[in-house]
Amino acid sequence: MKSLAKKSQVKKGRPKVLFVDDDPAIHEYTSRISKNLGLLKRTAFHPAQAKSIIWVRLRAIARLKKKLILKEKVAKSVEEKQDLLKRINTLSILQKKPFALVVSDVNMPSGHAVGINFVQELRKKLPEQPILMHSDDLNSLDYLMEIGFDREIKIPGSDGEKLKERLKSELWPKKYPKKSNDDDWF
């Protein structure tokens, strides 16, 4: 039991990022970058798996919020009520965006634009969820811009620094503002 408590304390405050891609090499690549940035990385190899991960997380958040609301109703001290209300508020935010960032490939599996459909569905259900689309196919990125996606990136084959910088600017924009002169990022 003790190790479980320590494990949850370590996770507290670290951004949770969901990477959706059918390519194991991309997951390996993003794992190294995630570890380097201190992110909690979840991996999905298909949009259906990603949806399952998101919905399970949303259900867990809803259950915890419900428990805290019940505790708040019977809380005896003002401090305890304030603490519970603060936690309930945080869970309300997490219900709107369960991950700090979802990064999804456009072409999954093997060239089909299932990634676009996944993100369109996710945007309808969770409009506040930050989403970053990526592709190594520039035609896909042009198409994404045409249909209104404004946060797309090209996965740089061997340049982990560019991906790392983009993730930092998405997750911590005040600390790491986007570089406007970087032509490799859309």
- Residue-wise pLDDT tens digits, 120-134: 889 889 988 988 887
Mean pLDDT on 47-76:
95
CA 38 to each of CA 15, 57, 96, 103, 131: distance values in angstroms, whole numbers, following the listed order:
8, 20, 23, 16, 19
118: Cα within 13 Å, side-chain hemisphere? 29
Residue 29: what pLDDT? 85
Per-residue pLDDT, averaged over 106-120, amounts to 76
**The model's pTM:** 0.79
Say if residue 7's pLDDT is above 90: no
pLDDT tens digits, one per residue of 138-166: 666 667 766 656 565 655 554 567 778 87
Both tokens of 95, joined, read 């219900």
Residues 50, 39: Cα–Cα separation, whole Å: 17
Which homologous superfamily is 15-171 in?
A: Response regulator (3.40.50.2300)
Q: Which amino acid is at 37?
A: L
10 or 167: which carries more pLDDT confidence? Answer: 167
pLDDT at 1: 33
Phi, psi of 4 (to 5 degrees): -65, -40
| Segments making up each domain of the chain, as ranges | 15-171
pLDDT of 97 above 90:
yes
Q: What's the chain's length in residues? A: 186
